[in-house]
Amino acid sequence: MAETHADWLREMEAKSRAKQSAFVGGISQRLGRPRPTDAPAQPFRGAPEFWRGFEWTPEERIERFAGNWRSVGGHVARLPDMDAVREFIAGKAAEMGARYIVRQNEPELAALGLEEALPEAQVSVWNTDPDICWKARSAEADFGVVMADYAAAYTGSVAVLSSKDKGRSVSLLPTVLMIVLPVERLRTRLGEVLTEFDRAGRKRLPAGIHFISGPSRSSDIENDLTIGVHGPGVVYALIVG
């Protein structure tokens, strides 16, 4: 028996490596090949050069993003400015009878004035009251309103980052999600978005990076597609500008 925790870990690792070696050795023997001892050479790293330079025009990005987003059940609205965003959200809230709304604590969303535009609804701003359980508040919300930090047209994905003012529950728990996407944040490829995180460096990474590609979809049970199991079942991408 190992005398210390460190000894126990080393012992467990040795046993694990021995099992791994025996497993790979058995496969090699059945294939009639020598057991590999070195990692295979990788002549290429990352995306090929032609893909790094692949780029759509701004209008192509909008068109492709909208098509991909709609193909998985999402909704898209092209709006000229933030005033139109406020009117759109207020109109949908009235149409759907939304009474509880939670939004990120973002300056762009504060400027919308949803509190004034929706006097019949309760609009809560994430993490502004220490006495509120914000996960529970988000779970009971009819609408969640967030700003997109980035988006990729090729995959139809939106990236929403987390922080103390931008809890992930706002995009994960409400019944309906409204994502405000300024057109200048829409890229062609997902790699362009990921590069931004590399440039920021490990110490400046956000608390969470969440990629959203339409409403929640799951086929875990008997391969039966179900919408809204693990997140909002209705998701709007509001492309602004």
Q: What are the tokens at 39?
A: 């990692």
> What CA–CA distance (Å, rounded) separates 197 from 202?
8
Q: Are residues 11 and 102 in the same domain?
A: no
Question: Is residue 129 assigned to a domain?
Answer: yes
Q: Are residues 107 and 224 in the same domain?
A: yes
* Distance (Å) of CA 62 to CA 73, 79, 184, 191, 202: 17, 12, 10, 17, 31
> What CA–CA distance (Å, rounded) separates 181 from 238?
6
Supply the pTM of this predicted model.
0.80
pLDDT in tens, 215-237: 877 766 677 666 666 779 999 99
Q: Are residues 79 and 139 in the same domain?
A: yes
pLDDT in tens, 32-69: 998 888 888 888 778 888 888 899 999 999 999 999 99
Q: How many residues does the chain have?
A: 241
Question: Is residue 42 assigned to a domain?
Answer: no
Question: What radius of gyration, in Å, describes the C-alpha atoms of the chain?
Answer: 24
Q: Are residues 91 and 137 in the same domain?
A: yes
Q: Are residues 31 and 60 in the same domain?
A: no
pLDDT in tens, 17-27: 999 999 999 99
Q: What are the tokens at 48?
A: 């090929």
Question: Is residue 2 assigned to a domain?
Answer: yes
> What CA–CA distance (Å, rounded) separates 229 from 150?
25
**What is residue 218's predicted lDDT score, i.e. its pLDDT?**
72
Question: Is residue 3 assigned to a domain?
Answer: yes
Total domains, the chain: 2
Whether the predicted pLDDT of 2 surpasses 70: no
Q: Are residues 29 and 63 in the same domain?
A: no
Q: What are the tokens at 135?
A: 């996960």
Q: Are residues 236 and 171 in the same domain?
A: yes
Question: Is residue 44 assigned to a domain?
Answer: no
* Distance (Å) of CA 211 to CA 35, 156, 157, 179: 40, 10, 6, 12
CA-wise closest residue to 87 among 117, 119, 125: 117
Q: Are residues 169 and 198 in the same domain?
A: yes
**Given strand 122-125, what is the order of strands in its sheet?**
75-79, 234-240, 176-182, 143-147, 100-103, 122-125
The CATH number that applies at residue 142 is 3.40.50.10420
CA-wise closest residue to 231 among 174, 153, 190: 174
**What is residue 124's predicted lDDT score, i.e. its pLDDT?**
96
Q: Are residues 132 and 16 in the same domain?
A: no
Q: What are the tokens at 164?
A: 């103390």
Q: What residues contact 189, with CB distance under 8 A and at least 6 apart?
A: 51, 54, 152, 154
Instruction: Grade residue 162 by pLDDT with cuts at 50, 70 and 90.
Output: very high
Question: Is residue 47 assigned to a domain?
Answer: no
Domain that holds residue 27: 1-36
Q: Are residues 224 and 176 in the same domain?
A: yes
**What is residue 49's predicted lDDT score, i.e. its pLDDT?**
84
